[in-house]
Chain A
Amino acid sequence: MSFRHWVILLPLVAALLSCSGPSNDRPGKKHTITIAGSTSVMPFTEKLAEHFMVDHKDFVIDVQGGGSTAGIQAVINNTVELGMSSRPLKDAEKRLNTITICYDGIVVVVHPNNPISELDLNMIRQIFSGRISNWRQLGWVDRKIDAVSREEGSGTRGAFEDLVMAGKEIDDGTMVQDSNGSVKEVVATDPYAIGYISMGLVDKKVRPVAINGVAPSIRTIKSGRYKIVRPFLYVTNGELDTKPSRFVDYVLSQEGQQILRNEGLVGFYD
């Protein structure tokens, strides 16, 4: 075996060794939890996990996306212990346990340069169903409305359809992006775009639209005036083991709820 052979073999051996450790999922010295599901809930769970692991160095929390449905399925199949969902459970899923960790408003957003800051629910419905297709009809410039939606199967879209569209279908001509983050990006860069995202994601890049005179905020959600709200759920199959329930307790604790509040979600302490 000449030197040449070793040069080739070494990286391969290194690659093999580097991943032959015990899986994050199997019991080792660390407690590991895998949480999977809604991409809307995911960034916030990640944040909570980051903070949690600072004080609990023996825990490793692995947060995956995949969507509310995939997360619920994974819990049913016992592939993960904790699932995340941004929509209520369907009948077939009802045997699972849910824990509401907070509430999230769904906010309709437009580009910061868009002068329209208020719409009524009916108008939003007509925009997304294709009835209103030009900003001119709303008093702005003569440009087509670039409506952006989430994809079919998304918990956020499902909630939007239930709470806003109320039976009317979202038009086939609306653009589609597969995450709230990318919807936000589209609206942030296209002055003529309009979309809906999780309230926790709203920042200076986009401007929220008041619906029926009510601007979305933690206050208006808590008071019940802003009605386009959905619960963020953690989903479990029966009782949780001690490890994951430590994390869930943390999420529901004052500290965890404060973190969620800082992110723009509505929790239980305030």
Chain B
Amino acid sequence: MIDRTVLKEHFVKWVLVAFALSSLLFLFLIFIFILAEGLPLFLKVGVNKIIFGMKWAPTKGHFGIFPMIISSFLVTVGALIVGAPLGLSCAIYLSEYAGKRARMLLKPAIELLAGIPSVVFGFLGVIYIVPLVRNYLGGSGFSLISTSLVLGVMILPTIISISFDALVSVPRTYREGSAAMGATKWQTIYKVIIPTAKSGILASFILGMGRAIGETMAVIMIAGNALKIPTSILDPLRTLTGNIALELAYATGDHRLGLFSTGVVLMLIIMILNYIANFGIKRKIAK
């Protein structure tokens, strides 16, 4: 009897090891594959020419993605401008003001918002936001501001839920102590709670940035996908993600490698952002 159990235990252990290794294999596969396909072009054409190159015309040998790096960055900052204040306010409301009923209504609503597919956001953006911008602000409507507006809404759930977690984990004693000293609720919030939850809140912003910079479908529907760096918020632009999505199906040879190189840059940016955010959260926990 004991022998069988021991055998079974070993069997299970090795099955789990196999599973774990397979998972890792899968995960690292994508990572390594993108690197493997993306690096050669950097070596062939030169890192500077790609990252700082101003012209993207891969069929003619130009692989410059600088305008797209800037555009991705601009769209992300725009999304934060729209989403961060609103998201933080919602998180504060949820953690400090909302009663049980309000929370039960709001939390599922935020989760549902997070579940709406990006193509739906893109579609509604094209039908409603783009004409609005075109008619009241000018330009074609396919622009930086339209994209930022839609992306800002899309990253709200991320910012809200992570900020909420950060705010809620501030110990009750802080709030009580502050109230005992005669502070109003808002004074408590902005002098005590927010500073304490600071790193979590910042992490939520950074993760929101990561989400915005990685968004593809909504962006290619709304941003216009022009290759120039936008000179006004009404100008169209193309992000790194858009570049890959637009040309992937048609690209061959070096063109395709160029897309992988775009992918490498994108992956690096997001990994850095993720690392900073997680580092921030862990610091808070360590405290």
**B-binding residues in A (CB < 8 A):** 65-70, 73, 144, 146, 151-154, 169, 172-178, 186, 189-190, 192-193
Closest Cβ of chain B to A101, distance in Å, is: 21
Provide the residues of chain B in CB contact with A65, threshold 8 Å. 249
**Chain B: minimal CB distance from A40 (Å):** 12
A152-B57, A152-B58 known; A175+B236 contact, CB < 8 A: yes
For A190, the closest partner residue in chain B by CB is: B140
B137 to chain A, nearest CB (A): 13
Contact indicator A153/B228 (Cβ below 8 Å): no
Residue of B nearest to A182 (CB): B221
CA distance A152 to B126 in the complex (A): 23
Q: Identify A151's interface contact among B130, B228, B246, CB under 8 A.
A: B246
Among B140, B225, B227, B228, the most chain A Cβ lie within 10 Å of the Cβ of B140
Specify which of A144, A153, A172 is in contact with B255 (CB 8 Å cutoff).
Answer: A153
Bound state CA distance, A70 and B224, in angstroms?
24
The contact string, 1 if C-beta is below 8 Å from chain A, for chain B 243-277, is 00111011110010000000000000000000000
Whether B187 is near chain A, meaning CB under 8 Å from some CB there, is no
**B200 on interface, CB distance cutoff 8 Å:** no
Residues of A within 8 A of B134 (CB): 190
Cα–Cα distance between A174 and B57 once the two chains are bound (Å): 14
Residue on B nearest A178 in the bound complex, by CB: B246
User: Looking at the complex, which one of B130, B141, B245, B247 makes contact with A153 (CB distance below 8 Å)?
Assistant: B247
Among B140, B226, B228, B250, point to the contact of A152 (Cβ < 8 A). B250
Partner of B59, one of A144, A152, A192: A152
CB-CB < 8 A to B251: which residues of A?
69, 153
Contact residues of B between 213 and 249, Cβ < 8 Å to A: 220, 224-228, 235-236, 238, 245-247, 249
Chain B contacts for A152, CB-based, 8 A: 57-59, 247, 250, 255
Which B-chain residue is minimally distant from A175 (CB atoms)? B224
Interface residues of B (CB under 8 A from A): 55, 57-59, 67, 126, 130-131, 134, 139-142, 220, 224-228, 235-236, 238, 245-247, 249-252, 255
Tell me the bound Cα distance from A175 to B237 in angstroms.
8
Q: Supply 15 further A-B pairs (C-beta < 8 A) apart from A69-B250, A175-B226.
A: A65-B249, A70-B249, A70-B252, A144-B139, A146-B139, A146-B140, A151-B246, A153-B252, A153-B255, A173-B226, A173-B227, A173-B228, A176-B238, A186-B142, A190-B140
The interface residues of chain B lying within 8 Å CB-to-CB of A68 are: 250
Q: Which residue of A lies closest to B250 (CB)?
A: A153
Q: Hey, which chain A residues are within 8 Å of B249, CB to CB?
A: 65-67, 70, 178
Q: List 21 A-B contacts (CB under 8 A).
A: A69-B252, A70-B249, A70-B252, A151-B246, A151-B247, A152-B250, A153-B250, A169-B57, A173-B227, A173-B236, A174-B226, A175-B224, A175-B236, A176-B224, A176-B226, A178-B220, A186-B140, A186-B142, A189-B130, A190-B141, A193-B140
CB distance from A65 to the nearest CB of B (A): 7
Tell me, rounded to whole Å, the shortest Cβ–Cβ distance linking A188 to chain B: 12
Q: Give the complex CA separation of A255 and B225 in angstroms.
A: 40
Write the chain A residue with the least CB distance to B235: A173
B231 to chain A, nearest CB (A): 9
Q: State whether B250 touches A176 (Cβ < 8 A).
A: no
Give the residues in chain B near A146, CB-CB below 8 Å.
Answer: 139-140, 142
A189–B123 alpha-carbon span in the complex (Å)? 13
Q: Which of A66, A70, A73, A172 has the most CB of B within 10 A?
A: A172
From B57, B131, B245, give the contact of A189 (CB < 8 A): B131
When the two chains form their complex, are residues A154 and B140 in contact, meaning their CB atoms are under 8 A apart? no
Q: Which residue of A lies closest to B140 (CB)?
A: A146
Residues of chain B lying within 8 A (CB to CB) of residue A174? 226
Q: Could you tell me if B255 and A175 are in contact, using CB atoms closer than 8 angstroms? A: no
Most buried by A among B126, B141, B245, B246: B246
Chain B, residue nearest A161 (CB):
B59
Known contacts A176-B226, A177-B225, A189-B131; is-contact A67 B246 (Cβ 8 Å): no
A172 x B142 contact (CB < 8 A): no
Write the chain A residue with the least CB distance to B223.
A175
Smallest CB–CB gap between B124 and chain A, Å? 14
**Chain A residue at smallest Cβ distance from B54:** A172
In the assembled complex, how far is the CB of residue A60 from the closest CB belonging to chain B, in whole angstroms?
Answer: 23
